[in-house]
Chains A and B, each alone.
Chain A
Amino acid sequence: MVKYVLNKVVLAILTIFVLATATFFMMKLIPGDPFASVTTKIEVQQAQRAYYGLDKPVVEQYFTYMGNLLRGDLGFSMKKTGRTVVDIIQEAFPVSAQLGLFALFFAQTIGWLFGILCAQFRNRWPDYVLMVFAVLGIAMPSMVVGPLLRYLLGVVLRWLPVTGWGSFKQMIMPSLVLGLGTIAGGTRSMRASMLGVMTQDYVITARAKGISPVRVVMKHEFKNSLVPLVSNLGVSIASVLMGSFVVESMFLIPGLGRYFVDSITNLDYSLIMGLTVFYGAFLVTMNLLVDVLYGFLDPRIRETVKGAAK
């Protein structure tokens, strides 16, 4: 198992290196530069480029960047003057992560619950109603649902704050809006997985033994349905924890989401690189964790790894 994990770690590092290299050169292919401006004098623009080392050959810039990256130095943002990329990630990521976890918890709980019910009532009206409801969550974009909820719950009913971040009340609305889109996916995956498990011999045996339906569903069907779902969880967690431009802007949440968009619009090279490397490393780590978790959840995988090691 240790060798299996080590292999995965080496592969992860290699992935991040390739990602950083590819991003660096692709970023340089975008026309313009962060200091191009029609209102700033040419000599000032040149001084700014020189200050950030952009006047040097691209290959030299690449080696400098990779050298700094190995030391954990992601540099200063070129647009958020005086702030390092590490500072920006350190401040914004916990906020996005918190929002993402709330949203994911909300979406997965509802999605899985809907999926279980849909499978139990397969091709009957509860199945259709819940699927329609779940699909509505995907069909209505957050930029529509968000302002509507904000107006209804914040302005008209005054139940929840309209914007802001910090208190539990402030987290409810954005988490709901962010989670809505993933409910449908969760419902569909759980439904399909449950349907696959429901016809297995051990489930039929359990039912034949007269075990209560709730116990059969929770102990035999639900638990075993989770295995294929967990494999997708890594990517879902990584993407949802990185923040959402739309939801964060709508509820004034100081998360990471807007930086992904702004850094590219402004061609903030160091922030683009920092965010990509961070996102890549996070994604790779999550996948690694999922692989390990997968082994724990499914004894067959553990055995395969052991067998391969022998």
Chain B
Amino acid sequence: MKKVFALILALMLAVASLTVAVAEENIVRVGMGYDPTTLDFAEQNLDSSNFIMEATAEALIKSKGNGVYAPGLAESWTVSEDGRVWTFKLREGLVYADGKTALTAEDVYYNVKRLLDPAVGHGNVSFTIKNAQEYYEGKVAFEEVGVKVIDDLTIEYTMANPAYESSFTGTAIAGAMEQAFVESFGQTFGASAEAYLAYGPYTVSEWVADSSVTMVKNPYYYDPSVATLDKIIVVVGATGDVAVDMMLAGELDIADFANPNHIQTVVDAGFEQKTSFLESYQGLNINLKGKTEETGKFLSNVNFRKALNLAVNRDALVMSVRQGEEPATRLSHSSEAAYAYNPDYTAVPSAGDVALAKEYLNKALEELGCTIDELPTFELMCFEAQGSINTLTVYQDMWKQNLGIKTEIAALTIQVMISNAMSGNYDFWLGGNGPTVPDACESYLMGYTTANYSPLRGCSDPVFDELYNKTVASATLEERLTNYAAVEEYFCENVMSLITSWTTNYIYAPASYAGIYVADGGHLNVCSLTK
């Protein structure tokens, strides 16, 4: 009997010690919508891969969120007066997570060279470096591209336009890759934990495709104090209802939400909003040339577009079909640095102004020599999802009731929609664009310039072009954001696009968690999280 008792006691102790060991492990489980698909800097573009990049890699400069920058791979840098030439001094003794491969300026150079390889057509290719586009188009040799290794610890970038700290926070153009390692995997580089060589505070220990990615501390990172967690686990697919249930059941610690119902449920369960980030500008893209000559006649008229813009009650739109979004009264959102340079500007009242809309419509009809009865039926194009169709139905009703303008909805498959958009075969097209740092020039406004003219938007406006070019050529960040205020105003006042809402994601975690922030580009960072 004593033996049995002793055995039971020993078993209980063993189980208890195991429980303590598990409890002591400092793990955080983060919900993400999609599998990273790849960890290749040149290709990755999803929230989950950005999150993993934040933890396992680093660019020359590190974004700490809210416009704050710190040394990353580079411990220091100098900038030419015109803001175009940036010389970075890398930290000494940098090594990859294998503990033996040194990380030098050659690796940063190789990363750029690989990104710009025209034979592959990498998805994240960027032409911000001098002569990058010319090289891509086969007009110059790579030696002409504005990236140069000075010595093992020094690399120099010459940019096409003045650049800022934010230009060097992304791993695509300012990260590092070890050439021999990359080439040893060939096309499968970045597609598994084994085919990825980390050098950030954490390293990828396991990646179960479409299920989870586990990251553990990288003991060879130059500053061991950054990684405060033993493990970070990315749970793939944990969003929306699933994430809520998982948080309530204690299976998930951190997730982002936009839906007010989800938010209320997790708040009631004791979770707290830790940070937020702007995900996209939403609204109707306008084809200024129209789908047909007849519709183009009206859509190219600025007063007609103003009438449409003012006839939309954004408050009602958001409340009825875009719950969780914010009514957009201009392009820049209050969380963006650019907003602070023109804080009092409002392009359109969020509730709309029907009386003024009618005035603009009459003015437009007068200019075009038409009556309201002669207006054609405009096409509203969207992806064939119920949410999108509902949104377009609201526009349709508002324009019909407020202005008597008739529209029809074309709900299409994603491929047909893209195909139509690319060829300018639409009048209005429901869609969103993600923001960029320091402003929306690269992500949004560039698509309206004549230099980037495509049949896509039917836009060619020399005044806008001039304002845009002046903005991107600004030598300092302050000058750029001041100039941006002007180009944003021009864009909004001329209703070159009908922006109606901002999608913001809110990050929720247990109330005791601290140290969560969102870096440039909406990249969530929990590397130094404390519980």
Please list the residues of chain A having a beta carbon within 8 angstroms of any beta carbon in chain B.
30-33, 35-51, 76, 79-84, 88, 91-92, 147, 150-151, 154-155, 158, 161-165, 249-250, 252, 254, 258, 265, 267
Please list the residues of chain B having a beta carbon within 8 angstroms of any beta carbon in chain A.
35, 37-38, 40, 43-44, 118-123, 125, 127, 136-137, 185, 187-191, 195, 208-211, 235-238, 241-242, 245-246, 248-249, 251, 413-416, 418-419, 421-422, 431, 433, 454, 456
Q: Which chain A residue has the least Cβ–Cβ distance from B238?
A: A252
A37 to B447, CA, bound (A): 13
Contact yes or no, A30 B242, CB < 8 A? no
The count of A-to-B residue pairs whose CB atoms sit within 8 angstroms is: 124
Question: Are A31 and B419 also in contact (CB < 8 A) when A51-B121, A81-B191, A155-B248 are?
Answer: yes
Contact yes or no, A47 B118, CB < 8 A? yes
A49 to B454, CA, bound (A): 19
- When distances are taken between beta carbons in the complex, the residues of chain B under 8 Å from A265 are 414
A40 to B43, CA, bound (A): 12
B281 to chain A, nearest CB (A): 13
Question: Are A47 and B120 also in contact (CB < 8 A) when A82-B187, A267-B415 are?
Answer: yes
A41 to B453, CA, bound (A): 11
Question: Are A162 and B418 also in contact (CB < 8 A) when A82-B191, A83-B188 are?
Answer: no
Contact yes or no, B237 A37, CB < 8 A? no
A32 to B40, CA, bound (A): 26
A30 to B249, CA, bound (A): 43
- When distances are taken between beta carbons in the complex, the residues of chain B under 8 Å from A33 are 415
Question: Are A31 and B415 also in contact (CB < 8 A) when A40-B123, A51-B119, A83-B209 are?
Answer: yes
Task: Identify 11 new A-B residue pairs, CB closer than 8 A, beyond the known A47-B119, A82-B40, A163-B238.
Answer: A30-B415, A31-B419, A32-B416, A43-B137, A44-B136, A47-B121, A80-B191, A92-B210, A161-B249, A163-B245, A164-B251
Question: Are A48 and B237 also in contact (CB < 8 A) when A38-B422, A82-B195 are?
Answer: no
A134 to chain B, nearest CB (A): 28
A73 to chain B, nearest CB (A): 13
- When distances are taken between beta carbons in the complex, the residues of chain B under 8 Å from A83 are 188, 191, 209
- When distances are taken between beta carbons in the complex, the residues of chain A under 8 Å from B125 are 41, 44
A48 to B190, CA, bound (A): 18
- When distances are taken between beta carbons in the complex, the residues of chain B under 8 Å from A31 are 413, 415-416, 419
Which of A39, A91, A154 is in CB contact (< 8 Å) with B245? A154
- When distances are taken between beta carbons in the complex, the residues of chain A under 8 Å from B249 are 154-155, 158, 161-162
Question: Are A82 and B38 also in contact (CB < 8 A) when A44-B125, A249-B237 are?
Answer: yes
B290 to chain A, nearest CB (A): 18
- When distances are taken between beta carbons in the complex, the residues of chain A under 8 Å from B433 are 39
Contact yes or no, B251 A162, CB < 8 A? yes
A275 to chain B, nearest CB (A): 14
Contact yes or no, A258 B415, CB < 8 A? no
